[in-house]
Amino acid sequence: MTASPTDDSTTAGSTSPAPPMIVMKNVQKHFGDLHVLRDIDLEVPAGQVVVVLGPSGSGKSTLCRTINRLEPVDSGVIEVEGRALPDEGRDLARLRADVGMVFQSFNLFAHKTILENVTLAPMKVRKKSKADANARALELLDRVGIASQKDKYPAQLSGGQQQRVAIARSLAMDPKIMLFDEPTSALDPEMVNEVLDVMVSLAKEGMTMLVVTHEMGFARKAADRVIFMADGAIVEDSDPESFFSQPESERARDFLGKILGH
């Protein structure tokens, strides 16, 4: 018998609608004197793809990191699928497994093969058998277009290929949410699209995604919503079309002028 990742699912309260996938209420965060997240309120329904934009230092990475509790917050509420973020222990490990994160640097295990990189956590955290983990990993590697590289080591792959392995590795945990923090910004330009294509297909399949990226093509093609941050606050929150054609704030106009103008 295989354990289903949804076997704790939401039969309780079945008369009410499903809770949003992510809720942030009045979230505050400081690094010393620096107020990095100011009164963040955000609700992301299941299946929504949110692109987070904003100048360097505006708090985009910190926002992502608070959602799987890589960064604790000072005050406020963060919930994933209606449950407050656990502080520690097994519940926290479980939350992290449900919230996948892909960073700019791929952070693959250098001394493990591509296949091992993808099967490790499902076996350890999800307690999958090696056979099940291997089968699922091969499916995912195939899906991101690198099944033929499965026995190589990360250093033998291009940056774009490594980032696709990192995405497959996250997906192997059957996450409910995927957070992406500038996943293509360390890549050579010719490799950006192969990674964005994988992300676009994930978005189309209904994954709930929060994506920090300056790739406007992705935002226009795949985002349901754009959030613009400045100085730790959400300054604009709208659909991509309105945001790009008529940003409301001076900050956003200035920012768009810079990134679209180069």
Ligand X SMILES: Nc1ncnc2c1ncn2[C@@H]1O[C@H](COP(=O)(O)OP(=O)(O)OP(=O)(O)O)[C@@H](O)[C@H]1O
Name the residues that contact ligand X, by CB under 6 A.
Answer: 31, 34, 36, 54, 56-62
- Minimum distance from residue 183 beta carbon to Mg ion (Å): 11
Instruction: Report in angstroms how near the CB of residue 38 gets to ligand X at its nearest.
Output: 11
Nearer to ligand X, 149 or 163 (CB): 163
Q: Residue 2: name its binding partner from ligand X, Mg ion, none (Cβ under 5 to 8 Å by kind).
A: none
36 binds, among ligand X, Mg ion, none (CB under 5 to 8 A by kind): ligand X
The minimum distance between CB 148 and ligand X, in angstroms, equals 33
For ligand X, give the closer residue by CB, 59 or 183: 59
Q: Which residues bind Mg ion (CB under 5 A)?
A: 61
Query: Nearest distance from residue 39's CB to ligand X, in Å?
Result: 15
Q: Quick one: what does residue 29 bind among Mg ion, ligand X, none, with the CB cut-off 5 to 8 Å set by partner type?
A: none
- Assess contact for 70 and 95: CB atoms under 8 A: no
User: What does 134 interact with, of ligand X, Mg ion, none (CB < 5 to 8 A by kind)?
Assistant: none
Residue 136 Cα distances to 3, 9, 133, 170, angstroms? 14, 22, 5, 12
Residue 238 CA: distances (Å) to CA of 35, 155, 174, 194, 233:
24, 40, 29, 27, 15
In the bound state with ligand X, the residue whose beta carbon lies nearer, of 8 and 33, is 33
The DSSP secondary structure of 84-136, one letter per residue, reads EPP-SHHHHHHHHHHEEEE-SS----TTS-HHHHHHHHHHHTS---HHHHHHH
When CB distances are held under 5 to 8 angstroms depending on the partner's kind, the choice from ligand X, Mg ion, none that residue 54 binds is ligand X
What separation in angstroms does the CA of 183 have from each of 122, 160, 161, 211?
A: 22, 10, 12, 8
* Distance from chain centroid for Cα 259: 22
Residue 19 or 57: the one with the smaller Cβ distance to Mg ion is 57
Classify 156 as helix, strand or coil. Answer: helix
- d(CA 148, CA 152) in angstroms, rounded, equals 9
CB 115 within 8 A of CB 150: yes
Instruction: For Mg ion, give the closer residue by CB, 61 or 184.
Output: 61
C-beta of 188: minimal distance to ligand X in Å?
Answer: 19
